[in-house]
Structure 1
Amino acid sequence: MVTSLQNTTSHKTTFTIGTRKSQLALVQTYIVRDKLQAIYPHYEFNIETMSTTGDKILNQALSKIGEKALFTKELEIALENGTVDFVVHSLKDLPTVLPPGMVLGAITERENPNDALVLNKKCEGLTLATLPEGSVIGTSSLRRVAQLKRRYPHLSFKDVRGNLNTRLAKLDDENGPYSGIILAVAGLVRIGQENRISHILTSSDSLHAVSQGALGIECRENDPQVKELLEALNHNDTRLCCLCERSLMRTLEGGCTVPIGVNTKLDQEKNTLWLHGLVASLDGKTVIEYQDQVSLTPAEEEEEAEQAPASATDATTGAVAAENTTHDTNLSIRRLRDRREKIAEQLGRHVANTLIQNGADKILEELAHH
């Protein structure tokens, strides 16, 4: 697959990657660029940075801006008009319905998807449970607030915006209000600030955001060369879990204005995918949860049934035979991946629909009016 792309001389050899300007966005883009550069040493990969709506409006809570594509719209415009060839996103920021003509070309291997508590120095050694009554915890996520209010009603929560270093600086301000802030483990690890993590929150504290910890690379649907190029970056297990989670969110029609939490586990030994989904009211007093699992075995069985054994008399020889075998193998791998992904997306829809049947629809209606 990679060899055939490298041997193609009629295609372009210089590509432009779109990204936000923040330190974390750039670090993530460098990760993607460096991996591609190692695979395709004869290609050139340039980076084009830009500011998005979410980067420009820092004096409002994300939930109050009223825009779903807060961190992606400007990047997708550049992708549509050909200014960039593909875009690197934090997948949790990418809406579950892409603009016409755009596809998710790759999902990279996931970093730890959990949330982390980072404490002010004056609170070192404490936890969310042991912080004094009224301690202020900073977070811009309604999902985190709703879940943590439920578990730790003695705490107060205050919005905090800005890039990771800005938020850490606000936490460290001696005159600031924050005893701690909640951030994604993945972001702290990627910018080399994992030493700031006081505690990693478990799923019993806070289910993580949809696709948190994974990078999504968006490209044009009608650009076969870029789609083929990005294939090398796909991490199939991560892709399976994230597509399942995104299917749940798509069914719930949620975004940053809806407290939706998830937890996904892929059991390789049993060949099963498990999803835990949650929808909470803003005050955390009403929480609807549901979890279920599905077997991925039917995808393998369907693929095996379609593969008829090749007759020895029909087999060609030499390089042509090897090339045909490689092509057939790649087709088979992609077909199997597509089938597994369909099963994963069905699980996401099933869990979402069950949440709705169990009362999540009432929370969603209330949030829409709010």
Structure 2
Amino acid sequence: MSSSSVGIKVIIVGGGLGGTCLALALAQRGIKSEIYEGKAERQDIGGSLTLAPNCLRVLDQLGLWRDLRKQGTEFEIMNLITNDGFQIGKFHIGSRARYGYPALRIRRYRLHQCLVDAATQSYPELISIQMGKKAARVENHALNPKVHFADGTEVTGDYIVGADGIHSMVRQTICPDSPEPQYTGIVSIGAMISPGQVKAYPMPCIVYGRTGTIGLSPCGAQGEGEEAASWFATLEVEKEETRAGWAEMKSSGQALKLAKERFADWRGPIVDLIEQAHNNPDSTLLWAQYSVPELPRWHSDRVVLIGDAAHAIPPSGGQGAAQAFEDAWLLAEVLAKGLSLSKWEAERRKRLGVINKFTQQSGKSRQVGKASVAAFNVKKWMMWTYFKMSSIGRGDDLYSYDGSKIAL
């Protein structure tokens, strides 16, 4: 640790995955942090996510991998098939031999709980977490920036980090003229299921059809007798709703009605899954996808953004949480060494260039929209040819990244 970082205090606005990961990375380097989360209590927002090798490498460096791997399902290969059973191809999301880690599919609340437990149990003297503290505004002073909360209280730190998600309040301090997050017109929908309901499919897999794609993936914890999996799909929904409106779309079954219409000509177990969810809409998961226009900067003086607050990544690449964790790990390293935030931002922007290219390519193969039979057959055979010619090394730039080897 640099002498300039001794005794500093970092204020973290947002107690989600990225904010808690940052607190752990700072504590590992002896730096104190205080997390302020707007929600009054932690909530299970549902759903599961895939952690690729580059993400697991960060978590391993924080000492979490041994326990975390028991909380989900490890795998290395993602299968690509059509809804009539044709094997398009497969690709490696993880490889113990090549990258040192598999991929891990895990329920979101389990991952978050693992991070919170590590923070509160391993570093109680360095990490504090306060719930129900909604940040209202930030004063960006050159030496001691300050956060004002909706309850009238305030806190001062040496650095303030906005880990407050895609609708970030802290972002307005750094980029006051930045546009609001933009609704993409795409909604993700899904539900938890039992793996036995989709035995016909080689999970994890992405199932392609003329009218869209559906993902299937196990995500059960090991050693608990839990069998769990999830399905997820994307739909076009032209009208943007308020948060209450999205909740109503889910609870009323309207979103599932759209899914039934979209996949009406499919056959087999997937149709049954959608029908089952339609009969129990409260079990459905729904996410409206938003994007953040590219920001001119991610930091100003001693206020900095990480994760979705800085660069929301579409879910098609499976890198959202990973990039928040990479942001956090490298930021902790920069602060511990007393380096400039400009150095951190330059390194992270370079990395995000690689990630965005991969995510765009991945998203194109799963574009939402109906295709003619002829167009779908052309796409199917083009994908088959591509994956036939591709090797495991196609993900090296993505999955081999190790922030500890970055020359700062």
Q: TM-score normalised to the size of structure 1?
A: 0.30
Q: TM-score normalised to the size of structure 2?
A: 0.27
> Which one has a bigger Cα radius of gyration?
1
Higher relative contact order (CA 8 A, sep 6+): 2
